[in-house]
Copies of this chain bind each other. A is one copy, B any other.
């Protein structure tokens, strides 16, 4: 089953909006065993939209369109489907009633133009939208399944999961195993996975902020056994670098499992470690406190870093990182402390301490690295590195560590 995604909206092409819908849909379709080969992004122009839709229908079995379902004059999706599928728009009284009810419930004055949203191409299935006024619709014609969904992710995602996916889910049997690795170059992970997998399955890798995501897919009747076997081989090759969930979630679960609490002290990462951790629901059980101690004074006052240490070694040093981590734990009563101090740039570097130099500490354990790139990249890498150190420390204490490869974070 070939799938094509059509993203509409001038704002996507002008870069005002990053098309996260398309990436999310791609990941969902991949999980469901459906292959996306093309994506088209087209501006709000009816002629170009009709051409794009016809091209998609000619080469794909499933065409998923997002955007252009609003009530205004430059929302063309309804009329574009009308033209491409030769199905006149028909007024659906029940839809109109539901739209009016929605506005009444929210006590919002409805504009007359919202009536446009009660029209759908003849013979289409209406896809309900509990999160917005724009209903979607689906059409089956000439062997193609077509669905039009609204642009806002909050409305599109539930509509896709509840009303589109059940209609297109692939029946063919397959199974996917996923894992993450941190602290190894992509090439090294690639080699290890390729050797483990051989010709028995297919795999894919992606890298983000130092974390390599691995996905292995097996088909056939023995797919469960195959994946079990292959995942064991990957685990043996990558040892403690390998884990299951995204790093912040992995850390939060590790702390919960160990019955430990943590406090964070950040200088150059400026709150990013805390932000990442607090994206995990329920993290308040294990995260006691985080401090962004930008100034020397606040490192001394908040964390009890000895002023002499800063004078002797500088604020960006392994000694100060260690004192920050220990101070964060001590001053908050947490069982662990993690800290980062560094030079995120673009200025502030010197010959001995260049921009990108970061010292990361978990309790008494310190690592020093130089991360390349822009300010936000340095923050991202240092935060990931520090979280991975917490993960490793918990793992080693648990005694679960497999073949120890040591921590390698230079890339």
Contacts and interface: CB of A to CB of B under 8 A. Distances in A.
A284 interface: yes
A345 B281 CA distance: 7
A302 B289 CA distance: 9
Contacts of A20: 18
A319 interface: no
Contacts of A279: 270, 375-376, 379
Contacts of A281: 345-347, 375
Given A12-B23, A19-B23, A37-B13, A294 B284 contact: yes
Given A36-B43, A39-B41, A204-B11, A18 B18 contact: yes
A298 B332 contact: yes
Interface stretch (A25-33, A121-129, A162-170, A238-246): A25-33
Interface in A178-212: 204, 206, 208
A289 B292 contact: yes
A264 B293 CA distance: 11
A226 interface: no
A278 B36 CA distance: 38
Task: Report how many copies the assembly holds.
Answer: 2
Interface residues of A, number: 80
Interface string A18-57: 1110111111111000001111111101001000100000
Contacts of A332: 298, 301
Contacts of A374: 154
B292 A17 contact: no
A157 to B, nearest CB: 10
A17 B10 contact: no
Interface string A253-275: 00000000000101011111111
Given A17-B23, A271-B271, 11 more contacts: A5-B13, A14-B204, A15-B26, A15-B30, A37-B48, A38-B48, A39-B40, A41-B41, A278-B292, A281-B346, A291-B302
Closest 4 CB pairs of A and B: A270-B278, A271-B274, A15-B26, A15-B27
